Amino acid sequence: MPRLRVSTGEKMYKCAKCGKEFSKEEMEILPGVKCPYCGWRIVIKLRAPTVKRVRAI
Amino acid sequence: MRSGACPLVVNVYYRVRERGGVRGVQAPSIAIQKLGENECSMVLKGVTPAVANALRRALMSDVPTLAIDEVVVVENSSVLFDEVLAHRLALIPLKVDVETYEALLSCFEEGRRDDCVASFTLEVEADRQMTVYSGHLKFAGFTGEFSSLAYAEVKPVSDIIPIVKLAPGQKVVLEAYAKMGTGKEHAKWQPVSAVAYKYYPKVTVLKRECGEECRKCAEVCPKGVLRWRGGALEVVEEKLEECAMCRACEEACPDVVRVSWDDTSFIFSIEGLGVLPVSKVVEVAMRRLLKRLDRLINTVEASLNALGGGRA
């Protein structure tokens, strides 16, 4: 049974060359970790758009 | 020099005496020699080394202070991780006035630590390379029951403590919450940077008239405690407390000078961080030490009564 994949549409990644932002699903169009626009293999993971609570220790 | 018996120390003495006392122990007293906003030097007399060490430990780790304990990071594009940033914020000493401190202390001692929270905001975006300093932190007031303390202000002891360096375009936006805590939980809650004590030195000149050869006893002393004048060796009383007990004089003139110490007197040297006046830190440390002693005495008495059916 195929696994159900829910796309959040969240742009989690950014290409280090062309600067375009894309989601995990968009990146998986091409095999391996690559920019779906220019094929560059250096991809930056962006900070999640939520606040983060940390203990100051 | 201000001298006299400290009421709190005397209180300990009388409580011990009421319960049978300690033979040969004189009434404890404190003579304050130097008292500034951030430093204090005093002589504690008539106590055992255990009491002196208990006071040192209480000063370091049992005086509650305010420090940043929780950080809500909204944005952080700096090179530091959120956790590292939070850790650096936590180590910034926060200055609080004595009146507000008393209110915060009673709140903490009642176990309502999360009700007495001071909040700060930090919002900096770099248009050129810059350093974010503690002065960028803005006090946003107290939360909970302390929100009525509108006049009170909490701010960092110094405005030039570096937090993070930013490159052009990088941004830090966060909220920080400061809570009360003690040094035994985390060093960020320590109100003093250094507390040290040494025994009160006793330097005795055994042979005053010992001629020219005694000149070297005085010359080797790095603190100038000994003076050779008119063919005689003497102790400079006003420098005696500076004696490091290095025994260089004893080595130079073995039969002429004797260095020892008084193990019931201690010279304390306290260096504060600026969060509270040092006198207040000492007062709170003693108050908390007394409370713990009371608790110990009561527990021991209760246990003995339970064991011996009240005869113990």
**Under 8 Å between Cβ of B255 and B206:** yes
State the pLDDT confidence band at B9, using cuts at 50, 70 and 90: low
ipTM of the complex: 0.73
Tokens of residue B154, six digits: 């909490």
Cβ of B188 under 8 Å from any chain A Cβ?
A: yes
What are the tokens at B203? Answer: 């330097």
Evaluate the CA torsion angle B156, B178, B280, B278 in order and state its sign.
negative
B119 contact A CB<8A: no
Q: Residue B41, exposed/middle/buried by CB under 10 A (0-12, 13-18, 19+)?
A: middle
| Contact check, Cβ <8 Å, B71/A57 | no
Confidence of residue B312 (pLDDT cuts 50, 70, 90): very low
Distance from CA of B69 to the nearest CA of A (A): 5
What pLDDT does B20 receive? Answer: 45
Q: Does B247 touch chain A (CB under 8 A)?
A: no
Helix runs in chain B, H state only: 7-18, 49-61, 82-90, 98-109, 215-220, 248-252, 278-308
Dihedral of the CA atoms B292, B288, B196, B236 (nearest 10)? Answer: -100
Confidence of residue B214 (pLDDT cuts 50, 70, 90): confident
Q: Which two tokens mark A50?
A: 């939520």
What is the reported pLDDT for A9? 67
A52 touches chain B (CB under 8 A): yes
What is the rounded distance in angstroms from the CA atom of residue B257 to the CA atom of residue B251?
9
Q: pLDDT confidence of B198, banded at 50, 70, 90?
A: very high
Question: pLDDT at position B12, please?
Answer: 57
3-state secondary structure of B115: helix
pLDDT confidence band for B8 (50 / 70 / 90): low
DSSP B94: E
Per-residue confidence at B22, pLDDT binned at 50, 70, 90? low
Rounded to the nearest angstrom, the minimum Cα separation between B112 and chain A is 18
What's residue B43's pLDDT? 94
DSSP B22: -
**CATH class of the domain comprising B65-189:** mainly beta
Averaged pLDDT score across all residues of chain B: 88
Q: Do A54 and B86 touch (CB under 8 A)?
A: yes
Which residue on chain B is closest to A50 by alpha carbon? B74
Q: Which residues have CB under 8 Å from B217's CB, separation 6+?
A: B226, B228, B233, B249, B252, B253, B256, B257
Instruction: Identify the pLDDT of residue B2.
Output: 43
Higher pLDDT pick, B49 / B143? B49
Q: Return residues 21-50 of A near B (CB < 8 Å).
A: 47
Nearest residue on chain A to B189, judged by CA atoms?
Answer: A57
Q: Mean of the pLDDT values across residues B105-111?
A: 91
Question: What token pair was written down for B302?
Answer: 């209760």
Q: Is the pLDDT of residue B232 over 90?
A: no
Which tens digit of pLDDT belongs to each residue from A33-49? 999 999 999 999 998 88
Question: B86–A53: do the CB atoms touch at under 8 Å?
Answer: no
Structure tokens of B56? Answer: 């040192």
A54 touches chain B (CB under 8 A): yes
Contact present, B254 and B210 (Cβ < 8 Å)? no
- B166-175, pLDDT tens digit by residue? 999 999 999 9
Strand partners, B200: B262
Do the beta carbons of residue B87 and residue B207 sit within 8 Å?
no
Share of chain B above pLDDT 90, in %: 63
Residue B5 predicted with pLDDT over 90: no
Confidence of residue A5 (pLDDT cuts 50, 70, 90): very low
Do A51 and B188 lie within an 8 Å CB cutoff?
Answer: no
Q: Would you list the domain boundaries of chain B?
A: 1-63+192-202+261-312, 65-189, 207-255
The pLDDT of residue B200 is above 50 = yes
* Cα B120 versus chain centre, distance: 26
pLDDT tier at B96 (50, 70, 90 boundaries)? Answer: very high
Mean pLDDT of B8-34: 64
| A19 contacts on B by Cβ (under 8 Å) | none
**Higher per-residue pLDDT: B122 or B27:** B122
Confidence of residue B308 (pLDDT cuts 50, 70, 90): confident
pLDDT attached to residue B25: 56
Rounded to a whole number of angstroms, the distance from the CA of A39 to the nearest CA of chain B is 26
In CATH terms, B1-63+192-202+261-312 corresponds, of 3.40.50.300, 3.40.50.720, 3.40.1190.20, 3.30.1360.10, to 3.30.1360.10
Triad B186, B192, B194: Cα angle to 5°: 105
The CATH architecture to which B207-255 belongs is 2-Layer Sandwich (3.30)
